[in-house]
Structure formats: structure tokens, C-alpha cells
Amino acid sequence: MKFISTRGQTEPHSFSRAVAVGLAPDGGLFLPDLLPDLSLRLRAWSTASYAELCMEFFRLFATDIPEETLERIVHRSYATFSHPGIAPLRRLDQNLHVLELFHGPTLAFKDFALQLLGNLYEHQCAAGGAGINVLGATSGDTGAAAIHGLLGKPRTAIFILYPEGRVSPLQERQMACTGAANVHALAIDGSFDDAQRILKEAFGDQAFAARHRLSAVNSINLARILAQCVYYLHAWFQLPAGEREDAEFVVPTGNFGNVLAGWLLTRMQVPIRGFRIATNQNDILHRLFNTGEYQVEAVRPSLAPSMDIQVASNFERFLYYAVGEDSAAVRPVMERIQATGAYYFPKLERDIFSTSRADDADILHLIRQTHQRYHYVVDPHTACAFQGLNPDRTSVVLATAHPAKFPAVMRQALDFEPTHPSLEELKSRPIVKHRLPADVSAVKAYVAAHAV
Ligand SMILES: *Cc1c(COP(=O)(O)O)cnc(C)c1O
């Protein structure tokens, strides 16, 4: 199988090349040149374990990786999860299921993709000879998950920039208390926007990026999307057979990556009825699907910070299919969005997508209500999915993070703080971070001195 760019001006890439490059050279995002039809495989796959299912699924895409290697990569990636079911489905009520995606090493769903991506990178280093230096900026969950994907791996180093004092203390500990020599937590004296600007400037210096074999960690990598398809499929199989075809997945959404992964399965003939895009007060996608108007606004920090996103970067992949797999039609739309921050889409697939929006007051209320009704504690991101649940249809809520990651919000909502042993253990470890000024030359000097 080959991978093509949504913008059509990149030659087809192998799976491994597409994963290594991340963003396509023409500025587009990679997609499989042909999506497989899964309908004939569903019966055989329905009783597979999580790792088996992941292996069967990836075999269809990662056709340039030997089977035994792929099998080792997949098994390793999910051996770090603390729950034997990896992604257990819990029934809270007659029609209400929760898919718990927080049993990975950093207690958020990003582990599903980044554990796998870390092992794919390691394989590529071993196969290609050269080491790899990953550079990223984070406001929380992604940085921690990326770090734990590469922890202690030979011939890799990871540098994560974050704004000093502006990530939660536990998130900082997940990045700065690993004790691994190849992990560099770089606390910038500035904002998240400063960290992102520095990152852009560092990658913009192409000679520097090439010299140190820099790789970006971001949500647009093709392997991340495919890894996320697997838990939708696994959850769908765990539903009673009679409920499968009517089920709606409810997805706390930021940049559209997670919901896109589920939706792609429908393009592979998996009969999923619908998806609800659950946003916080940064509601660009809620507005888009209700009015057709894509309109970027300023980010308003919320109690669900990992969804504080206004540019839904993975939307471009959906757009590619929406315009009939015509990259010539994608390019002018993306150019216009980049130039003006706005676009009007006259017809969007509104029958398969519904949306909801939860502001901070709603989030606190929904955490409380879910606890009272179901004796179940949800984190502030997952809480957004409980807004406007339809009691008459089967809903599968994706629980994207463990509530113990957000103790301050939980205390505000419930008067107690949930705990998790892995976070408790972190509290006794020393923090190892490097304070740097918000200045690209300081960051480049640090990377140059510590790159592998
Ligand atoms: C990243 C994140 C999200 C948003 O995911 P997208 O792929 O950007 O839609 C939601 N919840 C949590 C806990 C996250 O870390």
C-alpha cells in the first residue's frame, strides 16, 4: 500500500517513509491511496485480543514492514498498559457505555498512538542507521505521551518545550520525572505560543533540522490516526451484536484527529451509525457542523485544556473525502483557510455527525451529575461528552483521560481528588528540567549540545 497527500503534489510514499516524514512535503496530510474494505473481515476479527486486532489492522497498511517486526512493535506498544483489556468498555446504564482510553503510561488516550509511534521510530533507527531527535511543544498531554513513547530508547532523544508554570504540576512531573537520559523537558520562560513559535523557527532552519535529523511530534502523523482506528473497532466488537449498528460514538474533540479515526472506519465499510463531536467552549467544529461556517477564533483557555484548539488540523483529511478524493479541490480550500481563517461549506455530512458544546460551567456540572447518576468519575475532557446524551440510543463515550490527572478541577466539582498509583509515585521523584529563555537560539544551542 502507498500513501498519498491530500494536496496531491507529493509522490506516493511507503508506510515507513510517510511515518518518518509526518507532514507531506506539499503541506498536505498523508492518507492511504486506497482504503481496504473490512466488511468481510469483521466476523473473523470479532473475538481478537486488542494486540491481535491491532496487528491484523496494521498489516493492511504497513506493508513494507516485515510481519514479525510489526508483531513485535504492536505487542510492545500495548504491553505498557495497566489494564488487561487495554481499552475496556464499561456499561454505565442500559444504553450508555464508556470506552476507557486512559490505561496507558500517561493516563490519556494519546498513549495509544504515541507508544506505537515510538516503537516505529525505534525500528526505523535500527533499519536506517541514523538516530532520531524528536522536538515538540506541548501544553500538556501530548508532550508527556510522546516522552513515554520514546523513554530510554537507544539512539533517540526527545526535547519537549512547554511554558514554565503553565502546565499542570502532574503533567510537568510526567515529563520531567522520568529519570531517562534521552528525555529533555525544556521549560520556556514564556507562553505556549512562544514555545510553538520557537518550534516553528527551529524547523524552519532546514539546515539545522537536517543536521540533527529533527522529527516533529504532532497530531497529523498518519500512524497516530491508524492506531486510533483500532480502539473504535475493538469497542464496536465488545458491544452486544444487536447494539452495534445503531451505536453512536461520542468523542471529546480538539483538532478532529480522534473523531476522524473513527469516521475512517465507515469508509472501510464498518457499519457505525454516527459520531458526536463534543467540544468545549472552543467550539469551531460545533459551529461548523451546524452552520457550514468554518471560522477560526482566538483560543479561550478552558477546564479541558487539551481541547483548547481552534485550528482543527486533521479536518483536512475529512475534507479530502468530502470533495470526492480530489486533491485539486482541497488545495484552494486550505489556502483560503490559511489566508483568511474562514470558509463556508455548503454541504457537510450532517447525518453521520452530530455535535455538542460544553463551557466550563457545564463541565463542572457534568462531572457532578455523572458521579451522582452513575457513581462514575470523569475527567473534564470526558465530561464534555456527557452534554446532551441521547438516552434512547446506544452511546459509546470515549473517556480520553484519567480524572486523577486534573485534581484541581475534580476538587472544584466533587470536593475530592481522585488518585492513581502512577501519579502518586511521581510525586516522590526529583524534577529534572531545563529552564530556557523564550528564544530560538537558546533552544537550538541546547538541542545541538544534546542531540544523538
Ligand atoms: C488531545 C486530547 C483531546 C483532543 O483530541 P483530538 O484528537 O485533538 O480531538 C481530548 N481529550 C484529551 C484528554 C486529550 O489529551
Give tens-digit pLDDT for 263-296.
Answer: 999 999 999 999 999 999 999 999 999 999 999 8
3-state secondary structure of 139: coil
Residue of higher predicted confidence among 309 and 159: 159
Q: What was the pLDDT predicted at 216? A: 82
- Strand 274-279 and strand 3-5: the pairing is unpaired
What nine digits make up the cell of 72?
A: 513485535
Cβ count near 77 (within 10 Å): 25
Give distance in angstroms: CA of 445 to centre of ligand 1: 32
Q: Would the pLDDT of 219 be above 90?
A: no
Nearest residue (by CA) to ligand 1, atom 14, is: 306
Distance between CA 354 and CA 290 in Å, rounded? 9
Q: Element (H or E) spanning 360, and its range? A: helix 360-374
Q: What was the pLDDT predicted at 217? A: 78
Residue 334 CB less than 6 A away from ligand 1: no
Residue 158 pLDDT class (50, 70, 90 cuts) = very high
Give distance in angstroms: CA of 141 to centre of ligand 1: 8
Q: What was the pLDDT predicted at 23? A: 85
Looking from the CA of residue 312, the nearest atom of ligand 1 is: 8
Of 47, 48, 5, nearest to 28 (Cα)? 5
Looking from the CA of residue 257, the nearest atom of ligand 1 is: 7
Residue 281 CB less than 6 A away from ligand 1: no
Looking from the CA of residue 379, the nearest atom of ligand 1 is: 13
Q: In 164-289, which ranges are E strands? A: 183-189, 214-216, 248-252, 274-279
**Residue 330 phi, psi (nearest 5):** -70, -45
The answer to whether the beta carbons of residues 112 and 101 sit under 8 Å apart is yes
pLDDT tens track for 4-43: 999 999 999 999 999 988 888 898 999 999 999 999 999 9
Report how far apart, in Å, the C-alpha atoms of 119 and of each of 153, 226, 246 are: 9, 15, 36
Give distance in angstroms: CA of 40 to centre of ligand 1: 31
Give distance in angstroms: CA of 257 to centre of ligand 1: 8
Residue 400 CB less than 6 A away from ligand 1: yes
Pocket test residue of 219, 307, 398 for ligand 1, highest count of atoms within 8 A of CB: 307
Handedness of CA 438, 444, 448, 450 (dihedral sign): positive
Residue 260 CB less than 6 A away from ligand 1: no
The answer to whether the beta carbons of residues 96 and 131 sit under 8 Å apart is no
Q: CA end-to-end span of the chain, whole Å?
A: 32
Q: Would the pLDDT of 376 be above 90?
A: yes
- Strand 96-100 and strand 89-93: the pairing is antiparallel
Of 68, 446, 397, 30, nearest to 225 (Cα)? 30
Residue 171 CB less than 6 A away from ligand 1: no
Which residues have a Cβ under 8 Å from the Cβ of 178 and sit 6 or more positions away? 147, 148, 151
Q: Would the pLDDT of 252 be above 90?
A: yes
Residue of higher predicted confidence among 217 and 95: 95
pLDDT tens track for 391-437: 899 999 999 999 999 999 999 999 999 999 999 999 999 999 999 99
Q: Which residue has the cell 520531567?
A: 176
Exposed/middle/buried for 218, CB within 10 Å: 0-12, 13-18, 19+?
middle
Give distance in angstroms: CA of 127 to centre of ligand 1: 32
pLDDT above 70 coverage of the chain, percent: 100
Residue of higher predicted confidence among 131 and 183: 183
What nine digits make up the cell of 213?
A: 535529523
Q: Which residues have a catalytic role annotated?
A: 110
Q: Would the pLDDT of 349 be above 80?
A: no
The answer to whether the beta carbons of residues 381 and 110 sit under 8 Å apart is no
pLDDT tens track for 32-81: 999 999 999 999 999 999 999 999 999 999 999 999 999 999 999 999 99
| Averaged pLDDT, 221-248 | 96
Q: Would the pLDDT of 119 be above 80?
A: yes
Q: Which of 22-31, 105-114, 171-180 has the lowest mean pLDDT?
A: 22-31
The answer to whether the beta carbons of residues 262 and 314 sit under 8 Å apart is no
Residue 253 CB less than 6 A away from ligand 1: yes
Q: What was the pLDDT predicted at 271? A: 95
Q: What was the pLDDT predicted at 220? A: 85
Residue 2: left (phi > 0), alpha (psi -120 to 50), or beta?
beta
Residue 133 CB less than 6 A away from ligand 1: no
Give distance in angstroms: CA of 207 to centre of ligand 1: 33
Q: What was the pLDDT predicted at 130? A: 84
Residue 338 pLDDT class (50, 70, 90 cuts) = confident
Q: What was the pLDDT predicted at 141? A: 82
Angle at 116 between CA 269 and CA 277, to 5 degrees: 50
Residue 191 pLDDT class (50, 70, 90 cuts) = confident
Q: Element (H or E) spanning 343, and its range? A: strand 342-344
Pocket test residue of 141, 275, 398 for ligand 1, highest count of atoms within 8 A of CB: 141
Q: What was the pLDDT predicted at 343? A: 93
The answer to whether the beta carbons of residues 198 and 443 sit under 8 Å apart is yes
Residue 108 CB less than 6 A away from ligand 1: yes
Q: Would the pLDDT of 310 be above 80?
A: no
Of 228, 219, 226, nearest to 87 (Cα)? 228
Tell me the average pLDDT of the chain.
94
Give distance in angstroms: CA of 16 to centre of ligand 1: 25
Q: What was the pLDDT predicted at 82? A: 97
Which residues have a Cβ under 8 Å from the Cβ of 246 and sit 6 or more positions away? 273, 393, 394
Residue 401 CB less than 6 A away from ligand 1: yes
Of 127, 129, 122, nearest to 182 (Cα)? 122
Q: What was the pLDDT predicted at 287? A: 93
Q: Which residue has the cell 475512517?
A: 264
Domains delineated in the chain: 89-108+223-423 (3.40.50.1100)
